[in-house]
Each structure stands twice: as structure tokens, then as C-alpha cells.
Amino acid sequence: MSAKDYTTETGSGGELHQKAGGDVPPLTTQVGAPVSDDQNSLRVGRRGPTLIEDQAFREKIFHFDHERIPERVVHARGYGAHGYFETYESLSDITAADIFQRAGEKTEVFVRFSTVAGNKGSMDLARDVRGFAVKFYTKEGNWDLVGNNIPVFFIQDAIKFPDLVHAAKQEPDSDFPQAQTAHDNFWDFISLMPESMHMIMWIMSDRAIPRSFRFMQGFGVHSFRFVNAAGEARFVKFHWKPKQGLQSVLWDEALRINGADPDFHRRDLWTAIQSGDYPEWELGVQVFDDAFADQFDFDVLDATKIIPEEILPVRPIGRMVLNRMPDNFFAETEQVAFQTGNIVPGIDFSEDPLLQGRNFSYLDTQLKRLGSPNFNHIPINAPRCPFHHFQQDGHMAMHNPRGRANYEPNSWGGDQGGPREVAQGGIRAVPVAYSGEKARIRSETFADHYSQARQFYISQTPVEQKHMADALTFELSKVKTKPIRLRMLAHLLNIHEDLAQAVAAGLGVKDMPAPAQPAVPPRTDLPESPALSILKNGPDSFAGRKIGMLLTDGSDVAQVKAIVDAAQAEGAMVQFIGPIAGSVVLSDGTELDLDEMVEGAPSAVFDAVAILPSDDQAEMLAKMAAARDFAATTWAHYKFAAFNDAARVLFAKAGLPQELDEGFIPASDAKGFIAACRDLRFWGRKNAA
């Protein structure tokens, strides 16, 4: 066989190296010329140099060299999905926004979830805020609600955003650490920015390590305005509530998940949507007028504050269903360009100085990232409604004005004159009256930095409070500069004595610093807000969750089937895990294909587990470190487990107590096991420890 035969005629893939024909389209160059050989560049002689006339080669390498675009300066790592928003009822009395006029109407949406600090290739389970950006393709233009899974922000004024992000990302000399705030620069900055304390409580809570995008809330953060057709304006805050309920992982699980599956959140969304288990969120609003704003304890223009739901309930106004993954990640998820400035008639900004600054940043950044002012010509960014304007030319211009007119006013009229302003409706700023001196100034109504931080802390369950203290201790333990740790403790003292003491104890600080000097005295009279706790707002079903079932050859088919059936009835999913990859032969001789081997699937990637070895294989399983770890971490992470008698051999070797607790349920009670799983974790084990 000649060399050419080897690489071209049969190819290295042998018979699988198909040629075009029938249903298989021809491979072509960018301009459509069919390619005869994509294995060998054009060269002189068998071993000679490559020829520059090989356009197919040059075009291919040229394009490859330019495949990358700059990643987002923040929120670089993200994952998107398509879906729709369905309006519950007409809101015409409070907003003219077309999307909220007709009950039952569906509007196409694209959502991108993200982490903030990590680079594009960083892991999903970083302790971080999650972006929750929604593009609504409404009949009157695209409306982007660019929010987070946390309702407050670190800073009050956009001018501090570059400092915040510089401090949070890798340190500039070493370029580490990646995707985490556990380092000196971040806490140095934060400890000098008391306004960040409320947000710090949220990111040190379990909100910053969600189990999946499907189980987290979203918030528009700022106060915006709704404006009705009569021009009457009210403030509005937006909330997304997952129908799936709230759920987070433990920090130790996050660390393990990052190793076992850095794409855990991506995979979760992908798998759920591809299997038809469409995640759903309800959109709710807090609507209030100037009178409410004036009497509220804090400034509604301050993005470091919430309005507790117990004071102003969230009114559900529609639901969002995500039901389709992008065809192509780059084309859609990477190139989608969200802008806070993208509002539609009936929605307006507020004067929140963070929002005002964002409105500049999001437009500006797209030019850097997408390379042309025509980024809205990319299909994912283009409106679905008709659009007409006189903007033209520029790199990659796909839509240019037709006809003679490319300016207005013009006297051409008719077909030639092009579009004109609308006489009614359209985007109109609410005519809010302002006066004052030009000054770089912060309102004194923004001065209370501790009271709502405390309110968040006292609204958590004891388990959640402990997680916050642990998270702060962990992060500050990575800070090498001792005075920074003390500065943080000084702030914590203004939030809650117990929290400060717990962190000080963890850090081995014996001489507690004096409390930080507050701009205004912190309040201790704000009541608990149960809506702020994850554990107080968990799901009432185990639907959408995942069970890891550890099996061996000879595992009892009836036990397996009973749990699979009960899980399916609940809407939960089961993955089969074995000592090695491939399959196991169950007690009745059926061969069951495995999803994972135990080395590749720690218990941390599951919401609950079933451990069902056969009597014969239990000893063998107990000799495997990964299997012992599987059992030990199931226990350590307070997970529910179904088990059989043979599993006790593994449990003994894994160091589990002989006396198991109610979180470990005999496999014979499959329904009881699934019902218990609705609580997600058996916290009784933690309390007993």
C-alpha cells in the first residue's frame, strides 16, 4: 500500500473514513469549493515542502488562528439556554411594556447563567455570585434583565467596579488564585469597603455554592421603573423564583465536585433540558411608589439593600420555562450580548448610581468582545420584532438601510424616506425632576452598611449560620496579612457578635479588635426575614434530583427496580455506578449498563445515594478506596442513603458508626427512602455530631 493509499483512500479511520455521497454532504471551503483531500496539505513530492498556493490549507489554518474572541471581563464562564416567558395577567394598569399586556402570551427568551470571577475555563462550583441574565425578545424590542442570584451588590457606585473586579480576580503579579476570593487582595479591598458587608454575608452563605442553576433564585437587584400608558411611574424590583425550590451544596462537596466534574452546573442544565425535565422560574415583582420609597428604612436607589418580602410581598407576574439548548455554544452563549440599557417602552431606569454606570459598561464591552458595532446583527442578539434605523456600515454589517434615505429628517417620503419616530408610545424617560450642585458625592441615605447584613445573618437557620462562619474562616485563613483578618473581624462585630466570635475562634485570634467605626450606628431592631434562608425555602419534592446507585455483580434486581420506580414516580433520576466501568450482572442475570465507575463518581455529585452490593461482592467493594470514600462522604455530607445488609461491610470499613441514623434507610423501603429525600439532607446527623 502506498503512503497516499494509507492516508487518503482509506484514511486512518479505515472503513469509517467515509466520502461524501448520498446523505453525506461534501466538505467545502468557506466559499463552497468541494475539498478532495482534507488529510494532506499540498506538497512537492512525497516528503517535500508545503506549497503556499494551497488555499484550502491556508484558509483552514487562518480561520483556526482567529477562533477565539476576548472572554468577558467578568462572568466569563457561563451557560445558556432558550425558552419562553408566559405572562400570567395583564399589567396594563402599571406598565405599558408590551410583554405584560396579554394573559397567556408567550415571549421567546434566552438566558445565560454564569460565575463572576473565574476565567472561561474555570470550574463551576467556585464560591461566587451567579449571573442570571435574561433576554426577552418582545414585540417592542429586546429587554435584558441582567441580574444575579443575589439581590444586593458589593458596591454602591459603578466607579468602584473595576477595583472590585481587580481585587477579586487573580492577583496581577502571580495570576492566581483562579475563581476564588480566598486571597489577600480581595479581603484587603473588602475590609476597606464597609458598603460591601451585606453582600459579603450573601457570598459567604450557601447562596454562593448552588447545587445547580435550576435551584437558585434570580434578582434584577436595582429598583427599576414601570410606566403605564398614562405616563404614571412606579418603582419595581424583579425576582425569579425557581419552581424546583432552592438547594445548595456543602463547601466540602463543592471542592470534590470541582475535581470530579468541573462542568457540573453545565452538565446539570444540559441533562435536565435534553431529557425533557424543563426548569421553570416564576417572575415576581415588588412594585412601590414614591411614598413607600420615602418612608422605607433604606434608600431604594442603593443596590446594597433589599426590600424584605415580608414588608413588600413579591407578586408573581409570569413564568419562564427553559426548554432548548443552543445548537452551538459559541454562536449563542458566547456571542450573546446583554445590556442593562436594553429596556422597552413601559420600563425605565432608576437613578441607582450602580445601574447608571452599568448602562455605559455593557454597551462598551460588547465592542471589545464582539469586535464590531454590528454585534446586534448576530442572530442571538437580533430582535425578533421588525426594526428599522439609519445606522449603517461597519465591520460585518448584515443589515443596511434600503433605498435612498440613510438620514432623517428627509423629504423623500414614501418608500424612499425610511422609518420615522413614533407619535405615541416608544421609549420615553420618566420626567423626574432633579436639581442640585454638580459634585462627587454619596447621599447620607446610603450610609448604613451593617443593619441589613445583620438581618440576613439572623434570618438563617443555625446550620446556615455555621456555614457562613465556616466560609468566612476558610477565606480569611487564606489571607496571609494578619491586619486584614483583624479589619474583617472589626466589621463582623458590627454585624453579629456570635459570627465575629466564631470566625475569631477559627482563625485563632485571641485579642478581638474594636468594632469598626460605622458611618451610622448599626440597627439591631430589623426583624428576621425567613425568605432569605435557603433551608426555610427548600423544595417539597425530590423531583429533578439525582440518585447515585452503587452496585456490584449480583446486586438484587428487586431492590434496584423498587428504587428506580420510586425515583421515577417522583421525577428524580438514577445513575448506576459500579466498581469498574461497563456493566454489572444483576441477581436475575440481567446485564445493566453503568453510567459511571465509582472512581469517577464521588457521592458529592449526587443528591442522595443507594448502596446495594451483593453479599458476594461486598468485601471486594470494601477494599476499594473510592467505594469507602463514597460511603464515608455520603455520611459526612448528611445525605440520605438507601442500603442493604451487605452494604454494612463497606460501612464498617469506611468508618461509619455501627448504629446508623434515620437518614440511612433500608432498601426494602424504597418509597420511604424517596419520601425522606425530599428533605434533601438529614441535618439531624449534623446536630447529633
| 369 appears as a binding residue in the annotation | yes
* Minimum distance from residue 532 beta carbon to ligand HDD (Å): 17
Closest residue to ligand HDD in the complex (CB): 131
One of 81, 97, 99, 133 touching ligand HDD (CB under 6 A): 133
DSSP 414-442: HHHH-----SSSS----------------
C-alpha cell at 98: 408590551
| 404 appears as a binding residue in the annotation | no
One of 153, 281, 298, 664 touching ligand HDD (CB under 6 A): 153
Buried b (16+ CB within 10 A) or exposed e, 169-201: bbeeeeeebebbbebebbbbbbbebbbbbbbbb
Using CB under 6 A as the binding rule, the residues of this chain from 203 to 222 that contact ligand HDD are: 221
Using CB under 6 A as the binding rule, the residues of this chain from 330 to 389 that contact ligand HDD are: 336, 338, 354, 357-358, 361-362, 365
Pick the closer one to ligand HDD by CB: 131 or 513.
Answer: 131
CA distance to 32, 75, 507, per residue, from 184 (Å): 55, 21, 15
| Separation between Cα atoms, residue 48 and residue 71, nearest integer Å | 40
| Separation between Cα atoms, residue 665 and residue 672, nearest integer Å | 8
Buried b (16+ CB within 10 A) or exposed e, 562-588: bbbebbeebebbbbbbbbeeeebbbee
One of 56, 72, 256, 667 touching ligand HDD (CB under 6 A): 72
Active site residue 400: no
- Residues with Cβ within 8 Å of 72's Cβ and at least 6 positions away in sequence, in order, are 78, 114, 120, 365, 369
* Minimum distance from residue 444 beta carbon to ligand HDD (Å): 22
269 binds ligand HDD (CB under 6 A): no
Pick the closer one to ligand HDD by CB: 163 or 565.
Answer: 163
* Minimum distance from residue 84 beta carbon to ligand HDD (Å): 19
One of 148, 181, 529, 617 touching ligand HDD (CB under 6 A): 148
Q: Which of 148, 185, 374, 644 is catalytic?
A: 148
| Separation between Cα atoms, residue 261 and residue 268, nearest integer Å | 11
| Separation between Cα atoms, residue 161 and residue 356, nearest integer Å | 12
* Minimum distance from residue 338 beta carbon to ligand HDD (Å): 4
Site string for ligand HDD, 45-64 (x = CB under 6 A): --------------------
DSSP 569-599: HHT-EEEEEESSSSEEE-TTS-EEE-SEEGG
* Minimum distance from residue 198 beta carbon to ligand HDD (Å): 13
Pick the closer one to ligand HDD by CB: 85 or 606.
Answer: 85
Pick the closer one to ligand HDD by CB: 81 or 577.
Answer: 81
| Stretch of 71-79, 433-441, 459-467, 509-517 contacting ligand HDD, by CB under 6 A | 71-79
Using CB under 6 A as the binding rule, the residues of this chain from 294 to 313 that contact ligand HDD are: 303
* Minimum distance from residue 435 beta carbon to ligand HDD (Å): 26
82 binds ligand HDD (CB under 6 A): no
One of 83, 147, 318, 613 touching ligand HDD (CB under 6 A): 147
CA distance to 118, 123, 182, 461, per residue, from 178 (Å): 6, 9, 10, 31
| 298 appears as a binding residue in the annotation | no
CB 240 within 8 A of CB 282: yes
If we measure between CA atoms, which residue out of 650, 683, 682 comes closest to residue 665?
682
Pick the closer one to ligand HDD by CB: 78 or 548.
Answer: 78
- Residues with Cβ within 8 Å of 536's Cβ and at least 6 positions away in sequence, in order, are 461, 530
- Residues with Cβ within 8 Å of 380's Cβ and at least 6 positions away in sequence, in order, are 110, 331, 332, 335, 336
The count of chain residues that interact with ligand HDD, using the rule CB under 6 A, is 25
| Stretch of 33-41, 48-56, 145-153, 575-583 contacting ligand HDD, by CB under 6 A | 145-153
Beta bridge partners of 285: 238, 315
Site string for ligand HDD, 165-204 (x = CB under 6 A): ----------------------------------------
| 402 appears as a binding residue in the annotation | no
CB 372 within 8 A of CB 254: no
Pick the closer one to ligand HDD by CB: 131 or 418.
Answer: 131
Residue with cell 395583564: 90
Question: If phi over 0 gives left and psi between -120 and 50 gives alpha, with beta otherwise, what is residue 554?
Answer: left
74 binds ligand HDD (CB under 6 A): yes
| 161 appears as a binding residue in the annotation | yes
Instruction: Give the distance, in angstroms, between the CA of residue 627 and the centroid of all CA atoms in the same chain.
Output: 31
CA distance to 50, 349, 364, per residue, from 343 (Å): 54, 8, 16
112 binds ligand HDD (CB under 6 A): yes
One of 7, 59, 73, 120 touching ligand HDD (CB under 6 A): 73
Burial class, 203, CB count within 10 angstroms (exposed 0-12 / middle 13-18 / buried 19+) = buried
Helix 161-168 vs helix 184-191: crossing angle, to nearest 10: 150
* Minimum distance from residue 296 beta carbon to ligand HDD (Å): 19
Q: Which of 40, 63, 66, 75 is catalytic?
A: 75
* Minimum distance from residue 363 beta carbon to ligand HDD (Å): 8
Pick the closer one to ligand HDD by CB: 74 or 656.
Answer: 74
Pick the closer one to ligand HDD by CB: 114 or 465.
Answer: 114
Side-chain-facing half-sphere of 296: CA atoms under 13 Å: 22
Active site residue 75: yes
| Separation between Cα atoms, residue 328 and residue 452, nearest integer Å | 42
| 358 appears as a binding residue in the annotation | yes
* Minimum distance from residue 193 beta carbon to ligand HDD (Å): 14
CB atoms within 10 A of CB 416: 12
* Minimum distance from residue 375 beta carbon to ligand HDD (Å): 10
143 binds ligand HDD (CB under 6 A): no
CB 339 within 8 A of CB 93: no
CB atoms within 10 A of CB 489: 24
Beta bridge partners of 319: 86, 282
* Minimum distance from residue 135 beta carbon to ligand HDD (Å): 9
| Stretch of 61-69, 72-80, 264-272, 314-322 contacting ligand HDD, by CB under 6 A | 72-80
Pick the closer one to ligand HDD by CB: 149 or 633.
Answer: 149
* Minimum distance from residue 220 beta carbon to ligand HDD (Å): 8
Q: In what order do the strands lie in the sheet with 573-578?
A: 596-597, 573-578, 546-551, 608-612, 641-643, 664-666
| Separation between Cα atoms, residue 658 and residue 170, nearest integer Å | 46
One of 107, 114, 185, 376 touching ligand HDD (CB under 6 A): 114
| Stretch of 70-78, 236-244, 374-382, 548-556 contacting ligand HDD, by CB under 6 A | 70-78
CB atoms within 10 A of CB 515: 17
| Stretch of 3-11, 146-154, 168-176, 260-268 contacting ligand HDD, by CB under 6 A | 146-154
Under the rule (CB under 6 A), what is the footprint of ligand HDD?
72-75, 78, 112, 114, 131, 133, 146-148, 153, 158, 161, 221, 303, 336, 338, 354, 357-358, 361-362, 365
Q: Which residues are annotated as a binding site for heme?
A: 72, 112, 161, 358, 362, 369
Report the binding-site residues. 72, 112, 161, 358, 362, 369
Catalytic amino acids?
Answer: 75, 148
